[in-house]
Amino acid sequence: MNFYGKNKYNCVVVGIGAVGVEMVRLLKKRNFPCASLSILARSERIQEIDGTAYYVKTATPDAFEGMDFAFFAGTEGAKGASQTLGWEAVKRGCVVIDNGDDFRMDPRVPLVIPEINADALKDHQGFISNPNCSTIIALMALAPLHRVARLKRLIAATYQAVSGTGSQAVKELERQVKEWVDGRPISKEVYPHQIAFNLFPHIGSVKDASGETTEEAKMRRETHKILGDSSIKVVSTCVRVPVFNGHSESLFAEFEKPISPAQAKDILSRAPGVKVLDDVSNSVYPTPLQASGEYDVLVGRIRADDTIPNGLALFVAGDNIWKGAALNAIQIAEVLTQRRQADVGKSP
């Protein structure tokens, strides 16, 4: 974790599924100062990404020797390699940024969205977690409003793309559409139901008698940790929809202080990482297709919710593989390297 004297960093991506591939792409696209880039996975192989062949090595603790940053790709609900290798990497002086959910609630581990709570990175212990994709996309819109009016309650309905499950789910949706067009029986392997031309309110598993899924519990617990306020009431229904990429969410927020739609639009128009698209009369509003391949989270349909005091309704969409996963992880590393440069600049 000693970055002093360095302008470039040895980086490793762990896992090369949908998120891992985008991590590699975004490190290059954003000109992250990599001295070297390695890829680790369960098995050794050659992986081609955008015409470049990468040698993928087997993930072992010793593979982290000499590495500065380790980006663990993880996937929604999966028990990623960080469970067995994350703290081993930290022991070897590497900063781990984990997209998986194994350590998000660990008190040792900051849970960070850089535009919202970058201060949580102070005094980190070498292990930092990405929040869940649906939490990131919701809070990018809600946190700027929370700072002004304080969020009291959130009711959310998410519409989550199949890419959140991984590359095999993307292939399943594509295959099912082709089967439907050809008039063939529709096969399913990844999901419990046909996803093409369908949707279902089931993401994650049900752990207790409450009926809340693990995905819905993540939104509640992670909102509390990121905003630093466990009194906020959060309930959500998380729905898988037949969209290849880009999560959308309907958000109904109650605030402690009055906040008008005009005030909300003004606040959000100045919030980093947010783009307001809000002109329904001209069919301007967020869609997952627009959000896919965008760094920013899109926010629109901003209106008063008159069923509760100080209520607002919003509709948001974001690229769940970029801002909801790979991009957020790289932004965390960017904050750390920028702070390192600032600290060096202050040195006598």
Q: Which positions are annotated as active-site residues?
A: 133, 247
The rounded distance, in Å, linking the Cα atoms of 148 and 284 is 26
Cβ partners under 8 Å of residue 246, min gap 6: 161, 287, 288, 289, 290, 291, 292, 317, 318, 319, 320
What length is written for the chain? Answer: 348
Q: What is the dihedral of CA 218, 83, 200, 207, to 10 degrees?
A: -60
State both tokens at 65: 């020797």
Q: Which residues of 209-241 are buried (b: 16+ CB within 10 A; e: fewer)?
A: eeebbbbbbbbbbbbbbbbeeeebebebbbbbb
Cβ partners under 8 Å of residue 155, min gap 6: 235, 236, 251, 252, 253
Q: What residues form DSSP beta bridges with 54? A: 47
Q: Do residues 157 and 134 make contact, with C-beta atoms less than 8 angstroms apart?
A: no
Q: Identity (one letter) of the amino acid at 43? A: S
Cβ partners under 8 Å of residue 69, min gap 6: 9, 10, 11, 12, 94, 95, 97, 333
Q: How many CB atoms lie within 10 A of CB 252?
A: 17
Torsion sign (Cα): 100, 103, 104, 109 = negative
Torsion sign (Cα): 85, 91, 94, 95 = positive
